[in-house]
Amino acid sequence: MGILVAVSDDGQFETVLNVAVQLADGLDEELYVSHITETESASGDERDFRDDIREFLEETTIPIDIGLDHLSRSGLRSGTEVGKQLVEIAESDDIDHIVIGHRSKGRLTTAREGHTGFVVADEAAVPVTIVPEAVN
């Protein structure tokens, strides 16, 4: 049981992690931090990002597991596909809550890629906290 935290290397990950840590602390839950990768073996940049997450959370007393999860779907790496993957991870890892960031997109980008957070909120069987980019 725990909280799944979906992060990307878009500069918002610290805000998302801060919200997740506060939630985990209040609910006495463990954090499972996930970064979805495009390839089965993580690149140097992806491993560096995982290290950035570890460094950011090093003073946290909450139990944390950080994973680089491969997007196992064929086709484009759209927000919709990433959202479905996160829901699958939540179902298979007995997750109680999901925390994910959200950035506004233009209509064309939304039509082409979808919104990861909206897919997760719509399809997850557990509560979902969506952290907008304006939260500090």
pLDDT tens track for 18-72? 999 999 999 999 999 988 777 677 678 888 888 899 999 999 999 999 887 776 6
- Find out whether 91 and 11 touch, Cβ atoms under 8 Å: no
Higher pLDDT, 7 or 110: 7
Tokens of 81: 């596909």
Give the model confidence (pLDDT) of 126-136 as tens digits.
999 999 876 55
Give me the residue label for tokens 């801060």. 18
Domain 7-132 has CATH 3.30.1490.190: no
Tokens of 25: 């602390």
Mean pLDDT across 99-114: 63
Identify each DSSP E strand in the chain by its residue range: 3-6, 31-37, 64-70, 97-102, 128-132
In this predicted structure, what is the pLDDT of residue 71?
A: 65
Laid out side by side, the sheet with 31-37 consists of 64-70, 31-37, 3-6, 97-102, 128-132
In this predicted structure, what is the pLDDT of residue 47?
A: 83
